């Protein structure tokens, strides 16, 4: 076991992601469709209520770990004694070694006022952190992108069944090391961050894939994990692009089939698999 | 002018939604593509910093109004003296008649700990409100849905140009009264709420269309606006469905072309335009 991770008492409270319900189609006929779960999970950090996340609920412990890390609420994994999820009360209780509620409240009150995202997470502090991050991506082969996209076809299970979720993958070259889906794309990223933290994985040699859009917060979070390549099936925003330029991240959008668009890092690309015109 | 709205001093600080940048395609060739803007806008309510929203920035004043309303931070429009957006400092300054910072801070501290969404907005209080809401949708014609979808084809401008945004429309039967797009689907909904608030429009006879998924928060916000029909191009979640059932909302997903799925309110549907098999 990795240092730290062995010591954490964790539940394993993942729930089913989808379930069938009856809808009516354009012929007025009943049809059975799977729909994605969405569950509130309220985080209590040393008994202090922090936030309610709306989640698919398949990997709540990793989500909570990643949330704590990405929000800067806990700095060292070794400080965490337990992560205990109890769906009966829709709560995740996190116990730390030096539970200091007052200190936490101070952190939190600072956090509120800088809160951003779709409408959500910390912003000001993240942007400050970003100015310190310089990524150094290795050259990236076009063939690697295609292999990775081909490998991803076996994932996105819940999306295929039920839609209404975003998927994220942590990849080493074209190998998918970890994949997760959630109703919120920020949750999916946080779950990956939780997995990396728990298993002491570094981001420098990884590729991050998401089905979601490349907005500022996606780029910030990937950069915080020191992942130098961010690949998406969807589009990008100006601010996502600005932040990729600032950190030196390779930013690729609209990656699907043989198509993609390199928005940043063209000079790092090796076009070794150009499709025929 | 409507009471209240005439009195508010508002800037008109909407910015361009998209701009062209150069990307490189799978042939290694430069291509020019429009991408969506994304801008931080920090809300100051009577000089108290509240939140930073990441927004497309086309209708910032309406977004701020709708945010204040949907978060319950200001109860009456008549209490608002001014909404002034200044992109130079990326700030929206709202001045109220009885600016009471201490009272605000108390509201806010309550808010933080109940914060939810993708990872974002108030949750506990919204859910409490929801228990009081009972919608009474009128019968809905299938032909109205089709006319509405046909009319929507002329909108979604930024999406067509640049992708990476969600669109929302406020409709009366198949007429589109107001349409907006934003990088965050919650922002798009809040902008519609701001428009309705400013123009003293009621929701009871309206239909709400969104390109985004029907998660709990979308249903809660539509219900708060008393809109009894929610229509989406995308999928739904279990919790979105539960809340639609609870409030009596007609909930329709996957509405595109001739296809749709009625997840709640089948008994209110008039199937007057069944497509041929």
Q: SS in 3 state form for chain B?
A: CCCCHHHCEECCCCCCCEEEEEEECCCCCEEEEEEECCEEEEEEECCEEEEEEEECCCCHHHHHHHHHHHCCCCCCHHHEEEEEEECCCCEEEEEECCCCHHHHHHHHHHHHCCECCCCCCECHHHHHHHCCCCCCCCCEEHHHHHHHHHHHCCCCHHHHHHCCCEEEEEEECCEEEEEEEECCHHHHHHHHHHHHHHCCCCCCCCEEEECCCECHHHHHHHHHCCCCEEEECCCEEHHHHHHHHHHCCEEEEEEECCEEEEEECHHHEECCCCCCC
- As for the ipTM of the complex, it is 0.85
Work out the angle between the directed axes of helices B185-198 and B60-70 (0-180°, nearest 10): 90
Nearest 5°: phi and psi at A205? -105, 15
User: How many residue pairs bridge chain A and chain B with CB atoms within 8 Å of each other?
Assistant: 240
Nearest 5°: phi and psi at B271? -85, 80
Q: Which residue of B has its CA nearest to A105?
A: B109
User: Does B262 sit within 8 Å of A37, measured CB to CB?
Assistant: no
Q: How far is A102 from chain B (nearest CA, A)?
A: 14
User: Does B217 sit within 8 Å of A258, measured CB to CB?
Assistant: no
What is the pLDDT at residue B100?
A: 58
Superfamily of domain A140-270: Cytidine Deaminase, domain 2 (3.40.140.10)
User: Does B52 sit within 8 Å of A123, measured CB to CB?
Assistant: yes
Nearest 5°: phi and psi at A245? -65, -45
User: Does B121 sit within 8 Å of A120, measured CB to CB?
Assistant: yes
Q: Are A162 and B263 in contact (CB under 8 A)?
A: no
Domain ranges of chain B: 5-128, 140-270
Q: How far is A135 from chain B (nearest CA, A)?
A: 20
Quote the CA–CA distance of B198 and A20 in Å, as a whole number: 41
- Which tokens sit at B82? 């001014």
User: Does B271 sit within 8 Å of A28, measured CB to CB?
Assistant: yes
Q: What is the mean pLDDT of residues A32-49?
A: 90
Test the A interface: residue of B20, B119, B232 with most A CBs within 10 Å: B119
Is residue A7 very low, low, confident or very high in pLDDT (cuts 50, 70, 90)? Answer: confident
- Report percent pLDDT > 90 for chain A: 65
User: Does A239 sit within 8 Å of B271, measured CB to CB?
Assistant: no
Alpha helix (H) residue ranges in A23-153: 60-70, 101-114, 124-130, 142-152
Quote the CA–CA distance of B168 and B206 in Å, as a whole number: 13
User: Does A124 sit within 8 Å of B52, measured CB to CB?
Assistant: yes
What is the pLDDT at residue A157?
A: 74
Higher pLDDT, B74 or A204: A204
What is the pLDDT at residue A73?
A: 85
Q: Which residues of A touch B253 (CB under 8 A)?
A: 23
Alpha helix (H) residue ranges in A2-156: 60-70, 101-114, 124-130, 142-152
Quote the CA–CA distance of A166 and A149 in Å, as a whole number: 16
Q: Which residues of B touch A217 (CB under 8 A)?
A: 54
Nearest 5°: phi and psi at A259? -95, 145
Checking if the pLDDT of A106 tops 70, the result is no
Higher pLDDT, A31 or B216: A31
Look up tokens 């990656």; give the residue. A255
Q: How far is B31 from chain A (nearest CA, A)?
A: 9
Q: What is the mean pLDDT of residues A220-231?
A: 94
Q: Which residues of B touch A38 (CB under 8 A)?
A: 215-216, 237-240
Q: Which residues of A touch B183 (CB under 8 A)?
A: 118, 213, 215, 237
Q: Which residues of B touch A186 (CB under 8 A)?
A: 118-119
Q: What is the mean pLDDT of each run of 10 residues along chain B (277 residues)?
A: 66 93 95 92 88 90 93 89 96 87 55 37 63 93 96 81 83 96 88 96 97 89 95 93 96 96 97 90
Quote the CA–CA distance of B122 and A36 in Å, as a whole number: 22
Q: Which residue of B has its CA nearest to A266?
A: B24
What is the pLDDT at residue B195?
A: 96
What is the pLDDT at residue B114?
A: 33
Closest CB to B113 among A50, A164, A234: A50
Nearest 5°: phi and psi at A122? -50, 145
Closest CB to A271 among B28, B51, B52: B28
Closest CB to A116 among B53, B190, B240: B53
Q: Which residues of A touch B266 (CB under 8 A)?
A: 24, 28
Is residue A117 very low, low, confident or very high in pLDDT (cuts 50, 70, 90)? Answer: very low
User: Does A52 sit within 8 Å of B115, measured CB to CB?
Assistant: yes
Higher pLDDT, A207 or A126: A207
User: Does A239 sit within 8 Å of B38, measured CB to CB?
Assistant: yes
Q: How far is B1 from chain A (nearest CA, A)?
A: 31
What is the pLDDT at residue B54?
A: 87
Closest CB to B262 among A23, A50, A116: A23
Choose among A172, A185, A150, A149: nearest CA to A228: A172
What is the pLDDT at residue A166?
A: 86
Closest CB to B263 among A23, A109, A123: A23
User: Does B241 sit within 8 Å of A35, measured CB to CB?
Assistant: yes
* pLDDT tens by residue, A127-171: 677 888 999 999 999 999 999 999 998 887 777 777 778 899 999
Q: What is the mean pLDDT of residues A120-127?
A: 56
The radius of gyration of chain A's CA atoms, rounded to the nearest angstrom, is 19
Quote the CA–CA distance of A90 and A257 in Å, as a whole number: 40
User: Does B123 sit within 8 Å of A120, measured CB to CB?
Assistant: no
Q: Are A38 and A56 in contact (CB under 8 A)?
A: yes
Q: Which residue of B has its CA nearest to A145?
A: B26
Looking at residue A64, the DSSP 8-state letter turns out to be H
């Amino acid at each position: 076991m990795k240092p730290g991770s062995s010591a954490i008492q964790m539940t394993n409270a993942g729930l089913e992601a989808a379930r069938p319900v009856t809808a009516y189609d354009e012929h007025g006929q009943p049809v059975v469709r799977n729909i994605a779960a969405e569950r509130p999970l309220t985080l209590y950090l040393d008994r202090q209520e922090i936030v309610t996340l709306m989640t698919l609920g398949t990997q709540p412990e990793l989500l909570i770990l990643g949330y704590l890390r990405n929000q800067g609420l806990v700095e060292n994994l070794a400080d965490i004694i337990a992560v205990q999820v109890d769906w009966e009360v829709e709560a995740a209780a996190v116990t730390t070694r030096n539970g200091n509620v007052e200190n936490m409240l101070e952190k939190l009150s600072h956090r509120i006022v800088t809160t951003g995202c779709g409408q959500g997470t910390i912003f000001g502090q993240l942007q400050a952190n970003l100015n310190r991050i310089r990524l150094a991506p290795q050259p990236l082969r076009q063939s690697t992108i295609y292999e990775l996209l081909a490998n991803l076809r076996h994932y996105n299970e819940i999306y295929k069944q039920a839609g209404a979720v975003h998927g994220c993958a942590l990849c080493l070259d074209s190998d998918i090391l970890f994949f997760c889906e959630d109703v919120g794309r920020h949750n999916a990223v946080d779950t990956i961050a939780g997995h990396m933290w728990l298993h002491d994985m570094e981001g420098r040699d990884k590729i991050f894939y998401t089905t979601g859009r490349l907005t500022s917060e996606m780029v910030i979070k990937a950069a915080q994990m020191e992942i130098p390549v961010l690949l998406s099936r969807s589009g990008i925003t100006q601010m996502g692009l600005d932040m990729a330029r600032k950190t030196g991240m390779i930013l690729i959008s609209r990656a699907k089939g043989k198509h993609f668009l390199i928005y940043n890092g063209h000079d790092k690309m090796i076009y070794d698999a150009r499709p025929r015109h």
